[in-house]
Amino acid sequence: MKSDAIKLGPENASHRLLYHALGWTDEEIHRPLVGIVSSYNEIVPGHMNIDKIVEAVKMGVAMAGGMPVVFPAIAVCDGIAMGHVGMKYSLVTRDLIADSTEAMAMAHGFDALVMVPNCDKNVPGLLMAAARLDLPSTFVSGGPMLAGHIDGHKTSLSSMFEAVGAYTAGKIDEERLHEWECKACPTCGSCSGMYTANSMNCLTEAIGMGLRGNGTIPAVYSRRLELAKHAGMAVMDMLEKGITARQIMTKDALMNAMTVDMALGCSTNTMLHLPAIAHECGVDLNLDIANQISERTPNLCHLAPAGPTYMEDLDEAGGVYVVMAELEKRGLLNTDCMTVTGHTVGENLAGVVNENPEVIRPVEHPFSETGGIAVLHGNLAPEGSVVKRSAVAPEMLVHEGPARVFECEEDAQTAINSGSINPGDVIVIRYEGPKGGPGMREMLTPTSAIQGMGLGGSVALITDGRFSGATRGACVGHISPEAASGGAIGIVEEGDVISIDIPANTIELKIPQEEFDARMAAFVPKTKQLTGYLRRYAKLVGSGATGAVLDEEKA
């Protein structure tokens, strides 16, 4: 065991002394040391129940003969951070989480790890750490919240943001708005649609790093506590068999994850996180690969915000394994990949049954023959841009209109709220990329306002920032290169015509080539005065097209 190097022999008596200072017995000291990375805190609804999950993991590890040791990881609530300077501090935590977990694990010589995340940057950050450390590792999340209920209809976070837009437009009154805020998110857990947190938790199953149900069993179900105990037992089995994270997180496993992503209709943020996780595994996973996979992968689910079903419905239908089983009917997965169960993907899928073909469409009857995400290229985004195709109204799949240009999210929001955005417009929000933001803020507030005001079928929005998984509509993000790096989004002028063709995977600024070239030659990106962590982050971060990973050579 790795920890033997710091536990055994007279030369390590001082280490054992400190273990005894913790109240450990000799028997506990000589067990394998299993780090449990707890993301518990009291500000994120998806994390308020993680203390109970951690206690269940500890029991599972102990029952299997290990010594469970808890240490923390931070997590930002994207919903609370949304729409103000706080969102600049969301994506940047992904790297802090990976770095701090690496530091704790290496400093204390853990033999194995159980990661207990739940929210948007927390899950990918810990997957990145698992890849770096290459220890036996399992994941068990805090689980999704149950959907809310208003007027007999299920609701969620995205419904709430759109209700704010409806209030701004005078469609509902303040009393009705208050009813929404009291009912839309009724339990603890990650918000109930196929938003980023749930997308990433589902993809831990697809990659092979989470047990069945990790992405879908609701936070308030006792089955999740059982799952947590089994996760603790599973990591001990991995330790005995010598199965480590990078033996599971192979290129084939990551390709499986991207395939499942397209079938589920996951958040566009997965197009940031999967390449970043792959980078830690030494695997190249770029946006061009995403389009290739999307072209051959049917979209089988329309969970909120794309449709009226929620994570609890996906769980009752059989969960991620059913989606994978449907995909396997067409041979779209590599079933030889190893998983944390100690069995291959193919072995795990044996006997899986689809309990609700309306929630998880059979592969013979998909929502569409192409995946939920599309990557667009063109003179506005030569390195690529990303849109959640499955959440775009049919009439907006092809759109051309005049640009309404804003230098930050707040300015765009002011224009939307004032009623100065017209049907047909293409809202352009720039200097919100990884470097220019910095931190690549999500744009759920403006996109939800557009929907709530009834403009979702006529207005598009493009940005070098990104979108929440709760966003729906013709919203194209991750435009790369970003404005702060000299990208063409920085030369767009008010009234320029922008063409978006999602089926053709194109996005174009429709001005003469001579004028385009002249503008680019004269373009000097704006800069911001930054301090603290954001200053360091802006200096190191790379393109959104490659996962917004940090360039270690610049450090």
| DSSP helix/strand/coil, 182 | helix
The DSSP code for 344 is: B
Q: How far is Cα 367 from Cα 390, in angstroms, rounded to an integer?
A: 9
Which tokens hold the place of 386? 């990303």
Q: Are 453 and 416 in contact (CB under 8 A)?
A: yes
Distance of CA 255 to the CA centre of its chain: 16
Q: Which 3 state secondary structure label does DSSP give 379?
A: coil
Q: Could you give the CA distance from residue 232 to residue 255 in angstroms, rounded to a whole number? A: 27
What is the bridge-based pairing of β-strands 497-501 and 153-155? unpaired
Tokens of 377: 């290229």
Residue pair 344/337 in contact by the 8 Å Cβ criterion: yes
Which SS3 state, helix, strand or coil, does residue 116 take? strand
Q: How many Å separate Cα 213 from the centre of its chain?
A: 17
Query: Is 38 in the active site?
Result: no
Contact 169, 198 (CB under 8 A): no
Query: Alpha carbon of 435 to those of 81, 287, 440, 484, 530: distances in Å?
Result: 18, 19, 7, 6, 11
Residue written as tokens 């707890």? 38
Classify residue 251 by its DSSP letter. H
Of these residues, 390, 468, 480, 485, which one is catalytic? Answer: 468
Q: Which residues are catalytic?
A: 468
